[in-house]
Amino acid sequence: MRIRTVGIVGAGQMGAGIAQVAAAARLDVVLQDISEAQLSRALSGITKSCDKFVEKDKMSPDDRDAVLERITTTTELGALADCEIVIEAVSEREEVKVEVLRAIDAIANPQAILASNTSSISITKLAAATGRADRFIGMHFMNPVPLMKLVEVIRGLETSDATFELTRILAERLGKSVVVGKDFPGFIVNRILIPMLNEAVYALYEGVASAEDIDTAMKLGTNQPMGPLTLADFIGLDTVLAICEVLHQGLGDPKYRPCPLLRQYVAAGRLGKKSGRGFFNYQAGK
């Protein structure tokens, strides 16, 4: 099977980013979301991202226009029926993903591959919610998708060799480097990253240092480009908490227990940059 059209469900930051890189790789893209407003925001974000590439001479104006022309937006799942692969990129909540994947499975071409952009949830478990476990796979892109070179490809228990190979070829066509992880909670990146972010929250919670000093210490002491609390804010504290809970429940080790301060911030609606406030304040003029 040759992949010509990529379907993407969920037009948030990740879904929009995947749509952009797929269109830049000269693939047709169908980007679906239940919200017309979200689809408009996604297209606006893709346009701004492409404009930045043009400004930096990494993309021509004609190529930018071609990228935008290859992306079709829709609120109808049925529009994905002819896609060779459909990538789910909705919120990192298992019950939401299962519901969405069942709906996709019901309308997608029987030979199509279904992929999940989950950052931590079991691919085997998600695959079991569909009728095509052999054609189901994890395809975890990093944020922001147009800039980050990595894709984690995760095979479920029943994922076929053919599905894996087609997915690997697709990821490489999108300009990504592929690493293959086993179907364990958090896979590779988040198995290591999220406990570090959670520990930074514990350091703040226990009064080890201020948020500013924790981030400065990690940037200057370990040469990280961004401090862990800032990174958590950019990921979204609700997403960080969700992955912490998957690690804690899936691995059964208390060392993965989410920090109470992280839970408190999420309960208060301090979700990070997307809400305007997390461990730092992103509201204009503050």
From 49, 92, 117, 140, the catalytic residue: 140
**Catalytic residue of the set 49, 116, 117, 119:** 119
Rg over CA atoms, the chain: 19
Identify any residues that bridge with 113 across adjacent strands, giving them in sequence order: 85
Active-site annotation holds for 140: yes
Which of 84, 88, 92, 152 is catalytic? The answer is 152
Between CA 20 and CA 51 the distance in angstroms is 12
Task: Give the amino acid at 209.
Answer: A
Count of CB atoms within 10 A of residue 13's CB? 18
Helix (H, G, I), strand (E, B) or coil at 159: coil
Sign of CA dihedral 40, 45, 50, 56: positive
73, 43 Cβ separation under 8 angstroms: yes
Distance of CA 33 to the CA centre of its chain: 15
* 109 a catalytic residue: no
Distance of CA 166 to the CA centre of its chain: 20
Catalytic residue among 116, 190, 198, 275: 190
Which SS3 state, helix, strand or coil, does residue 222 take?
A: helix
Going from the C-alpha of 202 to that of each of 196, 257, 267, the distances in angstroms are 10, 10, 17
Minimal CA–CA distance to 187: which of 228, 152, 142?
152
Active site residue 281: no
Q: Which residues have a Cβ under 8 Å from the Cβ of 270 and sit 6 or more positions away?
A: 237, 277, 278
Pick the closest to residue 20 from 8, 3, 37 (CA basis): 8
Hey, which residues are catalytic here? 119, 140, 152, 190
